[in-house]
Structure formats: C-alpha cells, structure tokens
Amino acid sequence: MAQSVYEFMAKNIDGNEVSLADYQGRVLLIVNVASKCGFTPQYDGLEKLYEKYRQRGFDVLGFPSNQFLSQEPGSESEIKSFCELNYKVKFPLFSKIDVNGANAHPLYEFLKAAQPGLLGTRKIKWNFTKFLIDRRGKPIKRYAPRTKPEEIDTDIQAALGS
C-alpha cells in the first residue's frame, strides 16, 4: 500500500508521464474536473487559489474524468484549450482518467482509501471532488464537489504553515 501521493505516476494533458514525486514538499489540491458540469465554473476559483499560493509551495492538479454523465467528452487537446481559453487555467492538468471502478487510476484508489467520503464511502460522487495533500504527500482532507475553492483557503493556509 502506498504511503504518499509521491509514489504515483500520471500522464499530463500533453501525454507525458509525470512522477508526482516532482511535487514533493508542496501542498497539493487534487481535483477530478470536467468541462461540461454545473461545477465547471470552479476552474476560476481553483486558478485563483493556485495563483495566490503557488509561490509559497502550493499546486492544484486537475484530473479530467468522463465518468459522470459524460461531462468530459473532449480529447486532451480540447480539454486543455477549453481550460486555457475559458478559465485562463495555468495549473497542471493531466490526461483523462477513471476515478471509480475497475479502471480507476491507482492515485484515486489511494486517495479514496486515505480520505473516504461521507459514511465511509470510497467512491467519488461527482466531478470536482477535492483532496488536500500535505507537504509529506499525505491526504489530509476531502471536500465535496459543492465545496467552492475559496472555502478551502483557510485549510490551504494551515497546510502551508502560515
């Protein structure tokens, strides 16, 4: 069983394999995202958090998923363009993954086990479920899709050690 998010690899939105160990020592907010969801405007808040805290050691990592009513149907290049054009997203985006089921990405299996949802559920309920990761790569909090990025600000400050 993995001990931290740093033990995982994932393809970025450009198709290159990335080790999450590249983010060692940083506070992370890992989010499963989608372009055609009622929560899609959260991209704006996520980017604002990224801009506000990245110089202090914070990153948002966006993982597109098409598992919820096919709300992320586009290709990686379409997703990247959508995010850049509509929300000026500069935080790292990754290739489309499954977050639930037999083909769920191992990172998400780890996150769900470390921070189960309401009533101990291991499933991701919807797009824009968020996981806050401390500087040691440990998931410390899980947020529901309806939790707005700005509501996480205080927890990010605490994780950053301010």
- Contact residues for 42 (Cβ-Cβ < 8 A; gap 6+): 128, 148, 149
Cβ distance 144 to 131 under 8 Å?
no
Cβ distance 63 to 33 under 8 Å?
yes
| Distance of alpha carbon 122 from alpha carbon 113, whole angstroms | 6
| Distance of alpha carbon 79 from alpha carbon 34, whole angstroms | 8
State yes or no: is 83 an active-site residue.
no
Rg (CA), the chain: 14
Catalytic residue among 2, 18, 37, 158: 37
List residues with catalytic annotation. Answer: 37
